[in-house]
Amino acid sequence: MFRKAEKRVILIMDDAPGIQKILSVHLQKDYELVLKNDGMEGMEWLDEGHSVDLILADLKMPNLDGKEFLQIIRSSNFYKDIPVIILSAESESGERIDCLNKGADDFIEKPFNPAEVLAKIQVILRRYKGSA
C-alpha cells in the first residue's frame, strides 16, 4: 500500500508510563506514534489491520512480553518483516543475544539516551527502506 509523505508509524509497547512519555516527547516530531501497554494490546492493534513501520517493545511486559511478541511476529507471514527494537532494563548480555537471535533488529538498555533511540530508529528505517 502506497503512502504519501506521511510520517512513518512507530508502535511503542511499554507498560511504564514514564518510558512512553519520554519516547513520545522525543519521537512525535518525526513519527506518528501508537502507544500500547503490552504485547497483547500491540498484537490486537496489528491484527485490526493497522500498518506500522517499526516497533519498540519492552522486554518485560504483562500479558505478552517482548520475547513472546518477537516469536509471534517473526513466525507470521504478515508481520515478520517489521523491524523491532527491544527496550529493557536487563543488562545481561545473554538476554540481548537471545532477543537478537529471536529476530530483534536492536536492543537498547534502559535508562537510555532518547537521541540514541532516535538515531537507531533512523538507521534501521533507512536500511529497511533501502531493501524495499
Please report, in tens digits, the pLDDT of each residue of the chain (132 residues total). 455 568 999 999 999 999 999 999 999 999 999 999 999 999 999 999 999 999 999 999 999 999 999 999 999 999 999 999 999 988 889 999 999 999 999 999 999 999 999 999 999 999 987 544
How many domains does the chain divide into? 1
Q: In the chain, at which residue ranges do the beta strands (DSSP E only) sit?
A: 8-13, 31-36, 54-58, 84-88, 106-109
Instruction: Taking the CA atoms of 29, 31, 32 and 37 in sequence, report the sign of the dihedral they define.
Output: negative
User: What global pTM score does this model have?
Assistant: 0.91
Domain of residue 81, residue span? 8-131
Residue 66 maps to which CATH number?
A: 3.40.50.2300
Q: Considering the domain boundaries, does residue 2 fall inside one?
A: no
Q: Considering the domain boundaries, does residue 3 fall inside one?
A: no
Q: Considering the domain boundaries, does residue 12 fall inside one?
A: yes
